[in-house]
Structure 1
């Protein structure tokens, strides 16, 4: 099924595909997978190759562009862009406690095992077979989308002409524990940068932490605001313009009223907008599994945190933000995650996850790959990315300190242009 429309000066075609939940049972339960195709007005009548975009996450739908800008503007010069809502996200049979409440926890966990990168790639290949069965296409992955690119190179390189990665080259072999040990160190460094840059921020966040520790404060979605929740704002300090947004939020957090110090309702509303755990449950449910190969995560981030006691806030200690870590208490404090608590524990205990990567296959890769590796990336360990880059055939990379993790969102036209030139051996324009 498809439908056409025009917005932001671009031609957009909406595609919906019925695909197997479990590719081992192709005639079994089906899910819907949505993709939005974009083409520039001047290229509408031309037969152009596809560039498929894999969104970061896991658990987030593809971007919804409002204008012809950034990396999309560069891509549309020579491609039709396909924005894929990965299964379980956006308009692709979205996962939520509501969509899963008709089955028990064991069935929920089993259902969710089908939402890793392996099946995202199977979906993409099934879609390619319908849209352009006799052609290879190009792919671009940001963050977790880069993990999907590596999985595509591993599982179905025959479908690819070229590949691009921004901020998302994973380790091919390291356990989740090693990943989080490196990540906590990076988050510590970002905290140091943040509190040095905004000299009164430690005072602001400490006052707020002390207040919510002593008073029952409810955020706009109804949950009680805890210190642990406040620490999650650290997701933003590793992004371009993220530190500013966090600081401006803290500036307005507490107000003085006739009844004494209160938390500003504006803060409570904007705080919810900074966190996606209630609206994008796959992130919390499956984030640690993206590192799992024949092993269980067993709540890796929570266990590794015991090695970094600096993050355990106590009165009189400096406050520190956390980063892209998922903790079991999410399923006790976030309203929309509470019904999925048992399923989350079953997924954390699952030890028979399939292997994601075959080292020999990737070493002999023939698909041209160009990657942007951000040396200051809080979310992806640079040294692990460089380690992987050496193990993947035909992978060229651009190592830069110019951007944070979301660089493609801030300067996408330049970044993609540079990667295309790198991949094709062209001079930079």
Structure 2
């Protein structure tokens, strides 16, 4: 078996179904009496949680999903997911420019500066040896990265030959780098490639999900449509948080989700 064949086989162990197998092994061997437990799934962790509901519902007592209901209905391909995410990304960029209108010219200047090498100018190297391109720079707009510009000023060093500060280049590279998260680069698209829908067991397991109205990565409309396939699910639709709601407001998010299942929060 060639190296790439072995690598492809190895990567299968990181699919949602195999993650569920691993978690079930841990539950059966470490939890007293192999009792069912509560599951919290964020983003792809939520995708794994829905897989868990299908493959091993007997291992679950309650399920909490935050920004993580997978789009696996018929016809929902990677392409349709990406297309559905375009409008939310545009919306968040528009909101950013309304908050920081002064950045419109800054970002435009940086893009123009980076485009100059295409006409024979000096390229802008990144600390690791790569090249910062206009497309790479504007990619920050698809990941909430422009918000970090508030921490990275100055971008164009004032009073000197036009250049981008090393501090910015270093921060940019760390923000979008896959060096510490190689599996994300390799497997991100595959999480949307479901061979077939499983038989949901959600009617036997209480499920509560936080659905972020302006989520740029797990599309709201696709999520709402998919949630109809999970019987008995309780949704908390909110615009208080973005995709990273669990990290930004863990106490509030978890309190609300647990309240939905424990009868302490209204179902609207």
Question: Normalised by the size of structure 2, how large is the TM-score?
Answer: 0.89
Greater per-residue strand proportion: 1
**CA deviation map 1:172-207 (0-9, x unaligned):** 221111111101122111222222221122211121
Instruction: Tell whether 2:123 aligns with 1:220.
Output: no
C-alpha RMSD of matched pairs (Å): 2.0
Unaligned runs of 5+ residues in structure 1 are: 1-102, 295-354
Partner of 1:94: none
Partner of 1:109: 8
Unaligned runs of 5+ residues in structure 2 are: none
- Equivalent of residue 93 in structure 2, options 160, 184, 191: 191
Instruction: Tell whether 2:64 aligns with 1:157.
Output: no
Instruction: Tell whether 2:72 aligns with 1:169.
Output: no
Distance in 2 of aligned mates of 1:409 and 1:128:
25
Partner of 1:138: 38
What is the SS of the residue equivalent to 1:365?
helix
The verdict on how the C-alpha distance between 1:364 and 1:146 changes in structure 2, with shifts beyond 3 A counting, is closer
Shift of 1:257: 5.6
Distance in 1 of aligned mates of 2:265 and 2:5:
54
Shift of 1:168: 1.1
The verdict on how the C-alpha distance between 1:364 and 1:167 changes in structure 2, with shifts beyond 3 A counting, is closer
Q: Which has the higher contact order (CA 8 A, sep 6+)?
A: 2
What is the SS of the residue equivalent to 2:14?
coil
Question: Normalised by the size of structure 1, how large is the TM-score?
Answer: 0.57
| Contact 2:41 2:64 (8 Å CA) reproduced | yes
How many residues end up aligned between the 2 structures?
258
| Contact 2:72 2:194 (8 Å CA) reproduced | no
Instruction: Tell whether 2:42 aligns with 1:204.
Output: no
| Contact 1:195 1:201 (8 Å CA) reproduced | yes
Distance in 2 of aligned mates of 1:275 and 1:233:
8
Distance in 2 of aligned mates of 1:261 and 1:427:
56
Give runs of ≥4 in structure 1 deviating > 6 Å. Answer: none
Instruction: Tell whether 2:258 aligns with 1:420.
Output: yes
Matches within 5 A, 1:394-413: 394-413=232-251
| Contact 2:54 2:201 (8 Å CA) reproduced | no
Greater per-residue helix proportion: 2
The verdict on how the C-alpha distance between 1:364 and 1:419 changes in structure 2, with shifts beyond 3 A counting, is closer
Partner of 1:253: 155
Partner of 1:379: 217
Distance in 2 of aligned mates of 1:277 and 1:235:
15
Partner of 2:147: 244
